[in-house]
Structure 1
């Protein structure tokens, strides 16, 4: 059975983007190392420090599908029909982008209009025994509150943004959710890779 993992690159104060959707220094670590790697889709190259290479390769090779919301889909321009990690994408939205769908008939994208739970069910069908990666704060928060997440994976960047409207998870509708001790803690160059298990017994 596939694991459902919420993943994000975040600042120390928990933001995944600034108010204008710019990312500041969050992605600097993807280009500050000496090891050059091509993304799975071959659309650009990253330059990672050796400490991050194995983590990056392991994560990318484990993925079966990505789940995101319409905001991220729109900001990314639908990745021109092929996600950077070269995996199928499930988009949670109230309004499927009809013109985009018509323009990208072969794109492995699925648009789900009846909620996050249905999106995760569909994603698991697509992923098989591989990882379902959830990205985008709103969708990740809903999955956390619904008990759908198995892990939370954070690439923590030592920068304080101070403000923004894109916190990862954002405001919970219920009490705090306590995660387990990290099962992964890898110190890279200006990034720390962390993976936390979600305690579903709470």
Structure 2
């Protein structure tokens, strides 16, 4: 077999592969829009992708899109809170609202009780930041393995203006001998 025959054979194989690849794409383009008057079963069949064109599909089964499936929603974070002035800290579940990020602050460099030094409590933080506004949630971060305080906290205020006041007035303030970071 000479080189010209080999090139022709390879070219024919490439053309055949291209034709096989373009057929599912043409069918998919023709069925791109699903009419509202079509029965549900027919609509679901149009959403099924051919198995040979699924990149990364190692099970060799077609991917299916279920238009009636409920979308995935991640579980809500729950934090414990102690109301300002509470005599006994009763943990209450708190679910962050969608705009809680615009009302929450991060507090860093808090005393964590190392070497017999002072540690930080939720009550102390709510009292320290209480003049900025109503606090909905105060969470002290702990190391997952040791359970020890990390020296960080998150505080959620009722209003975003309270959050701004806390950043303006408490950043680089002295808290129990530590210069705290508020952002």
TM-score (norm 2): 0.21
Higher strand share: 1
Higher helix share: 2
Structure of larger gyration radius: 2
